[in-house]
Amino acid sequence: MTSYQIELSGHLDSTWGEWFRTVDLSHLPDGRTRITFELPDQSALLGLLLRLHGLGLELLSLERLPVEALLVAEQ
């Protein structure tokens, strides 16, 4: 599994956490939503990005996280 963090425009409802199978979903003060999640491979990442696009959600950033970052997020 590979860990990723994305930032989306707007504050998404916390129920989106289930959709993303998140490790963490947080609302940032400037109106963005930061989501940390795991995916098995890049094909799954592409599928997720296509679904975001189809839903009209604006992707602001995407970052692949080192393994250590996920361990900190889970605590």
Query: 35, 11 in Cβ contact below 8 A?
Result: no
Give percent above pLDDT 70 in the chain: 89
Tokens, residue 8: 């989306």
Residue 75 scores a pLDDT above 80: no
Q: How far apart are CA 28 and CA 51, in angstroms?
A: 22
Residue 13 scores a pLDDT above 90: no
Q: In the prediction, which pLDDT does 19 show? A: 77
Which amino acid, residue 38?
E
* 49-58: average pLDDT: 91
Q: pTM value?
A: 0.78
